[in-house]
Amino acid sequence: MSDIIRLLPDHVANQIAAGEVVQRPASVVKELLENSVDAGAQQITVVVKDAGRTLIQVTDDGQGMSPTDARTSFERHATSKIRQADELQTIRTKGFRGEALASIAAIAQVELKTRQEADELGTRILIEGSRVQAQEAVACPVGTSIHVRSLFFNVPARRQFLKSDPVEMKHVIEEFQRVALAHPGIRFRLLHNEQELFHLEPGNERQRVVHVFGRKYDERLVPVEEATEFLKVEGFITKPEFAKRSRGEQYFFVNRRFIRSPYLEHAVRRAYDELVARDNYPGWFLFLELDPSWIDINIHPTKTEIKFRDDRAVYAIVHAAARRALGRHNITPSIDFEPEPALLQGSISSGTVQGEPPIGSGRWNPHQLPERPSSAGWQQLFDLGSERVVQHDEQLPGHSPDKEWLQADHAERPILHGSSNHRPVFQLLGRYILAQLKSGFVVVDQQRAVERIMYERAMRSLEKGGGTSQAQLFPVTMELTAPDHALLLAILPELHALGFLVEPLSGRSVAVNGMPAESGAEDPADLLEQLLEQVHNERGSLKADRHATLARGMARSAMNQPIKHLGTVEMHDLIDRLFACEMPYFTPGGKPILITYGLKELDERFER
């Protein structure tokens, strides 16, 4: 038989490589912009026509190339960034594979003009479909200018897969913004069909974000800054109230390179737990700096995927940095009031976090998050006069089948010493509690308040490893599916901590001998199945994720029994327990629990 394996011609191999590197006009913009940044440019201009189908031109004032380098740059695997494999461990430039220009030249008509500062004349090269058409000396400014015309002119099938001009231009703008955000010290311009879309002057990271996305973003940004011996994290996250229904501006940069990472995204989203609804998305612009030897960027030609040598440590530090930023800048809403000086330290509206370890300390533990200030003294928000507030324990009242969740013995758990008229409360439609404040009034959704109280009670039980349980008069036997049975055995310690008395039987059967004392479910099997389903759907690799999932399930179970009429003492008790929570303002799902109305707002409504 004759030989059938042969080497592909260079121009065919380049077209194949172009399929990975150049997917659309935005890919060309990305590669050329990164080359300009690597060349040390301080000014970069991008000109696009017809969303890049007709023309993509990138001009910079970088160091330029010699005539020989200009010609060699279009060869496959030709690069000035590395010389041997070991240098991949210390790479800090954007490019290093030597594929971009060769791939672009294989599927477009490319004109290159470049000059070094020491040369009187520059070099012009014209290349089409990987074939050099001309090379000559030419007068041109220092730097490099590349014109890419008729993209995919020799691959008509690929050209047909391009979307409409608005869609393709959207991708071009996204790539432009990513490079511009990563390098705020460089001046960038973007023109489309002779209309200037961006003119970004050099500045710092905050100025660049505001210039790219508009002045309204200045008030939305929360600074993030943490440093350890292993990783430095800085940048900005957006305030919870500006979260969007769709994925907004979410940018991770590792050593000034834009990356995509669902793992790091989860770390930041967890910092917003209980602040943002699960179907809303906050924004962030985070810059991570670490030793290049701790990452691997040689995974895909687009270089937007990355691997960390210690991904768990990176996750913990990023999550802690976002959490600390939200806490340090008092992002959680607070009730507007003027506290007495003696109450500043204990007030729930205090934005000062005591005892934070210094930023940049090498001994900093990423799990060492700031503690919430004591809630003692918050009752001064209300018009209590000179009456003394008697503190009581934070334990929830025991549940019995013939009593509602909030019913309790008033004599055993006094709320105020003396008459309760000094703190007026009123129930509206069996759903809301209205309470007077010094500066207006607050409206509390009592169902959501119960959910928050139950959630934090469950979280404390899980952290301590033990909770109160109520034995079943008649144990309930359940037959589980194989996945549910395996999951139940895996989380059995957590279920016991919540107050479930579950005993595995033969096969896949279990007996439920006891339930959490405060659970509102009449059928133990239903509650246990709901918890297992929720853990299945939200299963995470970290124990904290499982705890939060189980606590949310327990909190939702308390919502099965609607709270209707509450007496004055029950309403006082509910408010007391709500403000004893670490996060009294939002449910675990991010929905508001209370709304405040100030006297100034009321006066404006009444036109006083």
Among 80, 104, 63, which residue's Cα sits nearest to residue 301?
A: 104
| Residue 432, phi then psi, degrees to nearest 5 | -125, 150
Dihedral of alpha carbons 517, 406, 549, 368, sign: negative
Per-residue pLDDT band for 539 (boundaries 50, 70, 90) equals: low
Indicate the range of 165-179, 379-393, 475-489 predicted with least confidence.
379-393
**pLDDT averaged over every residue in the chain:** 76
Flag whether pLDDT at 34 surpasses 80.
yes
Contacts of 84 (CB under 8 A, 6+ apart): none
DSSP assignment letter at 391: P
Q: Are 309 and 300 in contact (CB under 8 A)?
A: no
pLDDT of residue 125: 95
Q: Bridge-partner residues for 145, per DSSP?
A: 59, 113
CATH architecture of the domain with residue range 10-203? 2-Layer Sandwich (3.30)
DSSP 302-325: T----EETTHHHHHHHHHHHHHHH
DSSP assignment letter at 454: H
Contacts of 519 (CB under 8 A, 6+ apart): 399, 499, 527, 554, 557, 558
pLDDT, one tens digit per residue, over 311-329 is: 889 999 999 999 889 877 6
What are the structure tokens assigned to 266, written together? 């989860």
CATH domain 382-608 topology: formyl-coa transferase, domain 3 (3.30.1540)
pLDDT of residue 234: 95
Flag whether pLDDT at 501 surpasses 90.
no
pLDDT of residue 221: 94
pLDDT of residue 482: 75
DSSP assignment letter at 398: P
CATH number belonging to the domain at 207-328, selected among 3.40.309.10, 3.30.230.10, 3.50.30.50, 1.10.600.10: 3.30.230.10
pLDDT, one tens digit per residue, over 362-419 is: 333 333 333 343 444 444 445 434 333 333 334 433 333 333 444 433 333 333 333 3
Structural domain boundaries in the chain: 10-203, 207-328, 382-608
H or E segment at 288? strand 284-289
The more confidently predicted of residues 525 and 53 is 53
Provide the terminal-to-terminal Cα distance of the chain, rounded to the nearest Å.
100
Indicate the range of 121-125, 483-487, 537-541, 554-558 predicted with least confidence.
537-541
pLDDT of residue 184: 96
C-alpha to C-alpha distances, 117 to 65, 111, 126, 297, nearest whole angstrom: 9, 20, 22, 32
Q: Rounded distance, CA 262 to CA 276, Å?
A: 18
Mean pLDDT, to the nearest integer, of 461-471? 75
The more confidently predicted of residues 364 and 465 is 465
pLDDT, one tens digit per residue, over 330-351 is: 554 444 433 333 323 333 333 3
Sheet holding 43-49, edge to edge: 131-138, 122-128, 109-115, 143-149, 55-60, 43-49, 187-192, 195-200
Q: Rounded distance, CA 552 to CA 531, Å?
A: 9
Q: Rounded distance, CA 34 to CA 299, Å?
A: 18
Q: Rounded distance, CA 537 to CA 124, Å?
A: 59
| Residue 349, phi then psi, degrees to nearest 5 | -95, 0
Q: Are 350 and 344 in contact (CB under 8 A)?
A: yes
The two beta strands, 250-254 and 284-289, are parallel
Mean pLDDT, to the nearest integer, of 120-143? 93
pTM: 0.60
C-alpha to C-alpha distances, 130 to 65, 76, 188, nearest whole angstrom: 19, 10, 29
What are the structure tokens assigned to 314, written together? 């990176």
| Residue 295, phi then psi, degrees to nearest 5 | -135, 160
Helix axis angle, 524-537 to 543-557, nearest 10°: 140
pLDDT of residue 510: 84
Q: Rounded distance, CA 104 to CA 111, Å?
A: 11
Contacts of 231 (CB under 8 A, 6+ apart): 288, 289, 290, 313, 314, 317
Q: Rounded distance, CA 177 to CA 212, Å?
A: 7
Q: Are 239 and 329 in contact (CB under 8 A)?
A: no
Q: Are 193 and 280 in contact (CB under 8 A)?
A: no
Residue type, 596: T
Q: Rounded distance, CA 581 to CA 34, Å?
A: 49
Q: Rounded distance, CA 516 to CA 497, Å?
A: 9
pLDDT of residue 410: 36
Among 319, 320, 253, 323, which residue's Cα sits nearest to residue 290?
A: 253
